[in-house]
Structures are given as C-alpha cells and as structure tokens.
Amino acid sequence: MAKKIMVVDDEPGIQRSVKRVLEKEGYDIVTASSGRECLDKLEKEHVDLIILDIIMPDMDGGMVAKQIRENKKYDDTKIIHLSVLKQLPGQEAIQKKQNIEYHIAKPFDNKDLIKKVKQVIG
C-alpha cells in the first residue's frame, strides 16, 4: 500500500506543487489548508508523514506540531516543516524535541524534497 502524506499549507499553489511532485513518486497525498483542518483530518485517517507549513493564519505550524506530539496516537506519524523562513537559531532544539525530521526552506528543489521524503518514510 502506498504511503500517505498530508500536505498542510494555506497557499493552494504550494499545496499543488508539493502534491504533484510527490504523487509522481507514488505517494498518496491528502491536503489541508489550515492547522485546524490538519488536526481534524488526522482524527479520521492515518498518515505516515505531514509536510507542515509554519506561517499560517489560524494556528502556526509549530503549534500544530506540538499538539500532534502531545497525542500518543500519532507517535508513528513523521513531520517535515516546509517554510519560507530559514531554520532560526533556537528553533532547532524545539524541533528536535518535537521529532521534526527536516526543516526545508521554500523555494525547495524538487529532487531535494523527494530525497528527504524518501529518507523519512521510504
């Protein structure tokens, strides 16, 4: 069965490009446009990886990751952050604690994104 990835981003353009790039690699993609939507969808279906934007209007990606990590049910769900912001000093430690696999900067390189996703969920 194909691995399932949830792309969480308030920008439809980003949602589409990530979805297209990873679908081509054979992954099953679901999308969410907000942190709230991400958490709601997680309750209903299991995903292997969440590609999570950081700057979003309702709830930022850091907060979403925190809530996911507070729920044991999602322990085997991996998270990659995808943001226009570079990883800031100090952020690294927090993300390590939350079991964030990678922090990828936008704009990303397709090959680099594919490589990292494969590293995390095969």
Partner 1 sequence: MANDKNKPEYSNEWLRILFEYAPDAYYLSDLEGNLIDGNRAAESLIGYDKDELIGKSFLKLDLLPPDYIPKAAALLTRNALGKPTGPDEFSLNPKNGAPVFVEIRTYPVNIEGRTLVLSIARDITKRKKDEEELKESAKRLLTVIEVVDEGITFSDIEGHFEVFNSKIREITGYTKDEANSHGDFLSLLYPDHEKRLQAVRGIEEVFQRGISGDIETAIRAKDGTQKTLLVSTSLVRYKNKDMLLSAYRDITKRKQMEDELRKQREHLEELVKERTEELQKAYDELAEFDKMKDDFLATTSHSLKTPITSILSLTQLLNDELSGLASKEQKEDLDTILKESLRLKKLVDDILSMYRLESRIRLEMRDVQLEELINHALSAMKHRADEKGIELVKELHERLPEIRASCDDMQDVLLNLLDNALKFTPNGGKVTVGAKREGSEITAWVVDTGIGIPENEQVKLFSKFSQVDSRLSRSSGGIGLGLAICKKILDAHGGSIWVESRPGKGSTFYFKIKSVSQ
The candidate with the shortest Cα–Cα distance to 98, out of 30, 29, 52, is: 52
The least distance separating partner 1 from the CB of residue 119, rounded to whole angstroms, comes to: 19
Contact 56, 10 (CB under 8 A): yes
> Which spans of this chain sit near partner 1 (rule: CB under 8 A)?
11, 13-14, 16-18, 20-21, 24, 84-85, 89, 106-110, 113
The least distance separating partner 1 from the CB of residue 68, rounded to whole angstroms, comes to: 23
- Token pair 């590609």: residue: 51
* Closest to partner 1 by CB, 16 or 97: 16
Contact 55, 61 (CB under 8 A): yes
Tokens of residue 58, six digits: 């309702």
* Closest to partner 1 by CB, 14 or 49: 14
The least distance separating partner 1 from the CB of residue 53, rounded to whole angstroms, comes to: 10
